[in-house]
Structure 1
Amino acid sequence: MDSLEPQPPQSDVITMHRYETVLKSNSAFKKHVSWFSSTSDTKLSDIALYEYQGTYVINSDNKVCTHPNIIPQVQSEFSDKKPKEIFLKMNQDNSMTAPRDTKQIKNAKYRQNKANQPSNSNNIADEILEVLSMLNDHPFVQQVIYKKGQMPSILCYTEKQMTD
């Protein structure tokens, strides 16, 4: 193909851009985005055409799946916003990449708080070993009584308490 002679000025050239992506969990669902750019018309960059091809993924509970990259975005907002504020802001920005409801945000916040808490062992053997180590290190723990078939007893006092 021969180039156009004479060439048009750069200010008259409009470029069309096209982007295509596929949903990770379902390669049959595709999104096409087309937009224009021009050196002379700045309003052209405000216009985009979104096309979707295929069927959006529905999980076994008939709930629309949320993209996994959304949860880290939500978690970055926890420090200064309530779940409803986060939900409204993300839906206002782009409803296709927002959580489907505030419950998802609350669940993500709960999971993050639970992960940040120190793990408390519910293993009684670990707890007994910790108390036994306190017997030598802590001035308040004076005696530990542990008998088969009975709850352990821990006698706690200081010498000053006994003299009083």
Structure 2
Amino acid sequence: LTSYWRDLAYWDMRYFARERWCKREKERERERERERERERERERERERERERERERREGGMGEREREREREREREREREGERGRERERGRELEREREREREREREREKQRERERERGRERARERERGRERERERERERERERERERERERVSERAGT
């Protein structure tokens, strides 16, 4: 019985620990979101800065040079985009891995629950078995009692 309560306390503790972990995880997720937002803001700022820089440079340039400059700019932009794409892909992969981990954890939890259920069922079965054994013992006792009464009646007559 004490082990039952110990188990219960343990799983309670695990449950609340998981709750706290989830809260922290959500908080971290929000923090990452804010960080990404700041990053996007910095990116826009750099973009505006490059735009102003280009404006200043293009003041004294011929058409061909301007075109070449724009082409290089677009190339750099595509590079940055590819890097961000890869980063997003990695982030998604990590997220999926965490999800799989949580799923495995839940599966283990369910398995432990089932095991405990089976253990309780076995315990009840043993209890019933003991009860039946006691009942049989009482029945035998009554039988012996009746036998003694019969013998004493025969002796009395």
Q: With structure 1 as the length reference, what TM-score do the two structures score?
A: 0.21
Larger radius of gyration: 2
Q: With structure 2 as the length reference, what TM-score do the two structures score?
A: 0.22
Pick 1 or 2: higher relative contact order, CA cutoff 8 A, min separation 6. Answer: 1
Which structure dedicates a bigger proportion of its chain to strand?
Answer: 1
